[in-house]
Chain A
Amino acid sequence: DIVMTQSPDSLAVSLGETATINCKSSQSVLYSSNNKNYLAWYQQKPGQPPKSLIYWASTRESGVPDRFSGSGSGTDFTLTISSLQAEDVAVYYCQQYYTTPPTFGQGTKVEVK
């Protein structure tokens, strides 16, 4: 299985500041034939299901604010939340869908400082 490792496990950011979450896969999730990274990011607020934010490493889902951005390629990826809002408090997960079984990172908890 591909192991997904996120860092940090938690972070506290002041409102309006930038939160940066890293995700590293144990093997590349870049498919050479189409040059796509099979990497997604999800947001899970307390008591709610996860919500898809970003797929193909950097494509935002419809309706997701543009303060959320994804970057990276191969084995190293980043989710950036610029100008953090109170409603962004959540746990964020990365997930590879390059191969079965699809696997998730352990999650990063984002709080307001």
Chain B
Amino acid sequence: QLQLQESGPGLVKPSETLSLTCTVSGGSISSSSYYWVWIRQAPGKGLEWIGNIYYSGATYYTPSLKSRVTISIDTSKNHFSLRLSSVTAADTAVYYCARSLDHDGGWLQFAYWGQGALVTVSS
């Protein structure tokens, strides 16, 4: 059964870079059938898509974060990663990694989710 697990620091200082990794088990991140995704949810708030990455390394980001976001993939380690630079308190959120429904029409639908990682931005 597919499982996704986020890992990384739970506390990041303002202006620094947030870094998270999503380790995938029970499936290959090299599959051409899916996209791999980052989504976040601020405390008590709704869901915000951050971006998708394909096994080839092709990336798609939400416009509001595009200048600060980098998503990368390491097929040898079966994981993908998120970096968000110049963070502020507004970036405090639970960060989820997910897998898409498919690689075609469902590439922006999120079929499987990790448990999430709370990242707090504070000095």
Contact = CB atoms under 8 A, between A and B. Distances in A.
A16 interface: no
B116 A52 contact: no
Contacts of A42: 47, 110
A67 interface: no
Contacts of A36: 105
Nearest to B113: A49
Contacts of A48: 115
B14 interface: no
B43 interface: no
Closest 3 CB pairs of A and B: A97-B108, A49-B113, A102-B108
25 contacts: A38-B105, A40-B110, A42-B47, A42-B110, A49-B115, A49-B116, A50-B113, A51-B113, A52-B101, A52-B109, A52-B111, A55-B101, A55-B106, A55-B111, A93-B46, A95-B47, A95-B109, A97-B109, A100-B60, A100-B62, A101-B62, A102-B108, A104-B46, A104-B49, A105-B46
Interface of A: 31, 34, 36, 38, 40, 42, 48-52, 55, 61, 93, 95, 97, 100-107
Contacts of A51: 113
A33 to B, nearest CB: 10
Contacts of A107: 46
Interface in B32-64: 46-49, 60, 62-63
B13 to A, nearest CB: 26
A50 to B, nearest CB: 6
A49 B96 contact: yes
Given A34-B105, A52-B101, 10 more contacts: A36-B105, A40-B110, A42-B110, A51-B113, A52-B110, A52-B113, A95-B47, A100-B108, A104-B48, A105-B46
